[in-house]
Amino acid sequence: MAHDGAVVDPRSGFCQSNSIFYSKRRSVLLPSVPYLDVTTYIASRPHTGKVALVDASTGRKITYPELWRAVHAVAASLSQSHGVRKGDVVLILSPNSIYFPVVALAVMSIGGVLTTTNPLNTPGEIAKQVSDSKSRFAFTTSALLSKLSTGAAACLPVVILDSDAEPPRDSRVVSSIKEMMASGSGRRAAYEHVSQDDTATLLYSSGTTGVSKGVASTHRNLISMTEIIINRFKLDGSVGGNNHVFLCTVPMFHIFGLVAFATGMLGSGSTVVVLSKFEMGEMMSAIATHRVTYLPLVPPILVAMTQHAQAIRAKYDLSSLKSVLSGGAPLSREVIEGFAEKYPGVEILQGYGLTESTGIGASTDSAEESRRFGTAGMLSPNTQARIVDPDTGESLPMNRSGELWLRGPYVMKGYFSNPEATASTLNSGGWLRTGDLCYIDEDGFLFVVDRLKELIKYKGYQVAPAELEALLHTHPDILDAAVIPFPDREVGQFPMAYVVRKEGSRLSEAEVMDFVATKVAPYKRIRRVAFVSAIPKNPSGKILRKDLIKLATSKI
């Protein structure tokens, strides 16, 4: 097969002449018109779906006609009553909710830029993001309003997302989602033209290293990922996408939850059942009640479902379930076979992606593909990859491990107001350096070997060691510190700290953990501490994390 004149091996997708791997999946067609926002694109896709969103706990439904009326009303209210303009950044601080997609689609339809944050974050962490992203408007719930109380966050006008509760008496509260949805004609008002190259979202990621940075994704990025996701699940709405019911267990503030369930799936006529918080019993009950066909989850939940399969199947009717969608880490042979044995009618699909790739860069799209144990899948449609030797910069062929570089229509524009970080992650040829050590085999399957980047993945949440190290250095009794990922069967990895105490200090393990716990979200907490006389570093002063990981895991 040939790509742009290059001769490509049909089995692996590899081209000898330019050392590029090409996706073996059929390309998806993307709109070429320059002016198009992702909301208009999603709204205009034909389908026969009826119910768009369902609240798993209350059963409240939003039909497709109601959804688009609500989106237009909220967009008009933002623009006409609250002065939100193209390029203005709007924050959502909220757990999953059927109103999250309404706000996200409304903001992007007027050219606003959406930024999201984890409800578990502390007021200080949220204030830092508000300041960095230059947010000027916010949506949150009554319960979370107090988190917008520090620094720049305390000055934002706020809309309350609880539909039934009376909005709290607070001078910053300018409206409620209920009022906004009831206002306006429900017809789309005229706004400034939005280009596919305009920024649509600003999600925060630690990237390949270091502290959290705003990932600027464009409307084109989101449109292309919407098409890739709909294509992956064969959800062409014109032929019955409404038969598919997805349970949104993943957070909508995260790239996968936002692009797949808060926006993309709504272009296919599928129904998205929204779980506001994860609890195993509630998840199982929602599958049975709403006849869910697709269930996204992270590996620890899949393991728990396997371990408790007998009790689960005795209590809940899971006969509607066709597929589980696992992400965050590749599944082992033992886990895949164990799950298949307990749930014989359910296929496992896996995926690999980053915030910087607006979601999925590779995936397994059938049970057969997932049986190639340890793989993250084949490259997504419209995708090219390189495997690059991190030391020499040489592009490598099949079955050789190096850093994975990706190129495709979904690769971010760059890091917001951070040209240095952008230049070190995106090169001039449009290649995204993922920071993951990978190889691609002779059949075009991607395998993730290790992380070059220093992220810790706790239950799928990203934790940056650099952020926790900076915090530990502020403690009066700590001379030096390093944070590493410690492997754990239940959560994947948790942060462990190596600490050098100041002379004469009797600082304890519990005191270190308590100090950090008061200043960060629960998922970032240090859960193990070891005291050492010095932190191992290379000549340039970089922490030798691999040595510390070896030391920590040798004692398991």
Domains of the chain: 456-553 (3.30.300.30)
Environment class of 320 (CB within 10 Å of its CB; exposed 0-12, middle 13-18, buried 19+): middle
Q: Are 302 and 324 contacting, i.e. CB atoms less than 8 angstroms apart? A: yes
Alpha-carbon 276 to chain mean position: 16
Q: Are 295 and 312 contacting, i.e. CB atoms less than 8 angstroms apart? A: no
At residue 541, the 3 state secondary structure works out as coil
pLDDT at 1: 62
Q: Per-residue pLDDT for 234 more than 60?
A: yes
525-546 burial by CB neighbour count: b if 16+ within 10 A, else e? bbebbeeeeebeeeeeeebebe
Q: 359-363 and 347-354: which strand pairing? A: antiparallel
Give me the DSSP letters along 170-188.
-TTEEEEHHHHHHSS-SSP
Q: Per-residue pLDDT for 218 more than 60?
A: yes
pLDDT at 239: 45
Place of tokens 């600027």: 216
Question: pLDDT confidence of 189, banded at 50, 70, 90?
Answer: low
pLDDT at 238: 45
Q: Are 81 and 98 contacting, i.e. CB atoms less than 8 angstroms apart? A: no
The two tokens of residue 487 are 């492997």
pLDDT at 242: 54
Report d(CA 122, CA 263) in Å as an integer: 27
Q: Per-residue pLDDT for 185 more than 60?
A: no
Question: pLDDT confidence of 499, banded at 50, 70, 90?
Answer: very high
DSSP 457: E
Tell me the per-residue pLDDT of 364-400, one tens digit each, with 9 for 90 and over: 999 899 889 889 999 999 999 999 998 889 999 999 9
Question: pLDDT confidence of 85, banded at 50, 70, 90?
Answer: very high
Measure the N-to-C terminal CA separation of the chain; round to a whole number of Å.
Answer: 49
Q: How does the average pLDDT of the chain come out, rounded?
A: 91
Model confidence, pTM = 0.87
Tell me the per-residue pLDDT of 1-53, one tens digit each, with 9 for 90 and over: 656 667 999 999 999 999 999 999 999 999 999 999 999 999 999 999 999 99
Tell me the per-residue pLDDT of 459-469, one tens digit each, with 9 for 90 and over: 888 888 888 98
Report d(CA 257, CA 272) in Å as an integer: 11
